[in-house]
Amino acid sequence: MRAYKLLKKRKDGSLGSLFINARARIPVGEWLVAGCHPTKGYALRPGWHCTLKPVAPHLSKKGRVWCEVEVKDCESFERPRSQGGKWLLAKRMKVLGINQRKDSPRPPRNWPILKEKHT
């Protein structure tokens, strides 16, 4: 299933999670298995947190990029509209590409994607 994930884009171009296990690097084009990383101040929800649309109004976009991802073995749960609505928790995820548009939080269907590996 296709979904979207907001990731931190580091100065060296690598990608990482925003809050949970934030030091880990997330490669493009590789299947990743979700781990369980208890973090003080956050509810324990093991899995890759993704959305059905590239929308998360409650999160800053500074230093972050929306990525198109493919997810497997996921469950969905409803969040408030102010947090983007329905979220997915996936056991497996693969980053397909990075949204290169800077002008729209809601990219059109044919938005340009950069498919490059980050090592």
pLDDT tens profile 16-54? 999 999 999 999 999 999 999 999 998 888 899 999 989
- What three-state secondary structure class fits 116? coil
Task: Give the integer Cα–Cα distance in Å for 25 and 22.
Answer: 8
Strand locations in 10-110 (E): 15-16, 32-33, 48-51, 64-78, 86-99
Q: pLDDT at position 119, please? A: 30
Specify the amino acid at residue 49. Answer: H
Q: Whole domain around residue 78: which residue ranges?
A: 2-114
pLDDT bin (cut points 50, 70, 90) of residue 4 is very high
Is 37 contained in some domain? yes
Distance CA 47, CA 85 (A): 17
In this structure, the number of other CB atoms found within 10 A of the CB of residue 97 comes to: 18
Position 36 in a domain: yes
Residue 87, domain member (yes or no): yes
Beta bridge partners of 49: 89
In a domain, 119, yes or no: no
Half-sphere exposure of 85 (CA within 13 A, CB side): 6
Please give the pLDDT value at position 101. 54
pLDDT at 93: 97
Residue 79 has pLDDT above 90, yes or no: no
pLDDT at 103 over 80: no
Answer whether residue 68 is part of any domain.
yes
Instruction: Quote the number of domains for the chain.
Output: 1
Q: What is the pTM of this model?
A: 0.79
